[in-house]
Amino acid sequence: METLKSSTLQLRQLTKRYSNFEAVRNLDLNVPSGSLLTLLGPSGCGKSTVLRMVAGFLNVTSGEILVDGQDISRVEPNFRDIGMVFQNYALFPHMTVESNIAFGLKMRGVSKDEQAVRVRDVLEMVQLTHLADRYPSQLSGGQQQRVALARAVVIKPKLLLLDEPLGALDRHLREGLQAELRDLQRKLGITSILVTHDQDEALYLSDYIAVMNGGCIEQLDTPIALYDRPQTEFVARFLGVPNIFPSKVVSKSEGEVVIELGGQKVVVPTTEAKPVGSDCKISIRPSHIELVAQDDARMGLVSVINSAHELGERIVYHCEVGGHKIEANAPRTSNSARFAVGQAVKLLLDPAHTILLRD
């Protein structure tokens, strides 16, 4: 199957209200053509509501859904040209794999000959040619989900919507299918939205990730930027950053502020206009803190080690700085330095990854 002419999706001031509860609030979002954008966030933040409005299963309260600049928010779901994959496969149990995949083409009046060619191509793509005559009940969960994916893309949709598509599969199978899904989406170039709870899945599959909180987008970024530079406390916590500290700005200069942490000073690069004396919060991932001996000449936080655990490829140190608990990770290689519990050390915070969180 050839690459599609990719569409763009824009959501403008999209709002969904259930009586007086706003599940989605004035949401603006651009999904560039051919890219995969993930809506990530805790249960109840509004991810599925956005997806269901784009699919047309839910009416919008206000706002616009633009595909290639055309507002489709009042168009019936069947006429939106959208492929969908759900967590629970939703295959027709009484139809073979081949008929399941051909169904959408038949409904669109595609000729029998073309149906056969397109079904054959897509079956090859998801490596299910040998199972074309089976019924869904005769397939594993992973195979059923590949049929669901084939059925969604065979109609050459303008958009592909993926609602927790791998959520019902065990971890091993899920990882295999993530790679397949990513390859297929890139190969076909279908503009796609994925909804997931699983941040590893989002980081692996996405071109962009929108983290949602209370019906709004809290941060939209590439996976790497989001992982390295969460901008708010909510995003940092959601992405599992353990080191988040309340602090105060003690001085500032061009492009940076100096904050106080447990009675010691830390330089944090920022473009935010934070006045001296104001409260702030900083975050840093454990892998961005280097542990060195206390007599090291470099600038760092004087600290003491409370615990040390060897975990797979890393050593996890829990340290303390003036009453603040700080986690630092070191690679567990044969020549890496080991620090003992109770030992005084210095923590070097990588300035590029020390983040002054937005209020």
Q: How far apart are CA 330 and CA 277, in angstroms?
A: 34
**DSSP β-bridge partners for residue 320:** 304, 325
Task: Tell me which stretch binds ligand ATP (CB under 6 A): 3-11, 44-52, 176-184, 348-356.
Answer: 44-52
When binding is defined by CB under 6 A, the residue of 20, 43, 271, 334 that contacts ligand ATP is 43
Q: What's the number of CA atoms in the CB half-sphere (13 Å) around residue 234?
A: 15
| Residue among 48, 87, 264, 343 that touches ligand ATP (CB under 6 A) | 48
49 sits near ligand ATP (criterion: CB under 6 A): yes
Range in contact with ligand ATP (rule: CB under 6 A) among 6-14, 15-23, 246-254, 270-278: 15-23
Q: Which of 40, 47, 55, 266 binds ligand ATP (CB under 6 A)?
A: 47
274 phi/psi in degrees, rounded to 5: -100, 120
Q: E strands, the chain, where? A: 9-18, 21-31, 36-40, 62-67, 70-71, 82-86, 159-163, 191-196, 208-213, 216-221, 243-253, 256-261, 264-269, 279-284, 289-293, 301-311, 314-321, 324-331, 344-349, 355-356
CB of 204 to ligand ATP, least distance (A): 19
Q: Which residues have a Cβ under 8 Å from the Cβ of 309 and sit 6 or more positions away?
A: 315, 316
Query: Closest separation between CB of residue 19 and ligand ATP, Å?
Result: 7
* Residue 333 in contact with ligand ATP, rule: CB under 6 A: no
Q: Which strands make up the sheet holding 256-261, listed edge to edge? A: 264-269, 256-261, 243-253, 279-284, 355-356
Six-digit token string for 213: 């909180």
Cα–Cα separations (whole angstroms), residue 185 to 105, 276, 341: 20, 48, 49
Residue 18 makes contact with ligand ATP by CB under 6 A: yes
Q: How far is the CB of 215 from ligand ATP (least distance, A)?
A: 7
CB-nearer residue toward ligand ATP: 193 or 259: 193
Q: Which of residues 179-218 bind ligand ATP (CB under 6 A)?
A: 197
State the minimum distance, in angstroms, from the CB of residue 207 to ligand ATP.
21
298: its two tokens: 């470099």
The answer to whether residue 45 forms part of the interface with ligand ATP (CB under 6 A) is: yes
| Beta carbon of residue 323, minimum distance to ligand ATP (angstroms, whole number) | 36
What size, in residues, is the chain? 359
Question: Contact between 143 and ligand ATP (CB under 6 A)?
Answer: no
How many residues in the shown chain lie near ligand ATP by CB under 6 A? 12
Q: Which of 14, 23, 194, 321 binds ligand ATP (CB under 6 A)?
A: 23
57 near ligand ATP, judged by CB under 6 A: no
Pairing relation of β-strands 70-71 and 62-67? Answer: antiparallel
The contact set with ligand ATP (CB under 6 A) reads 18, 21, 23, 41, 43-49, 197
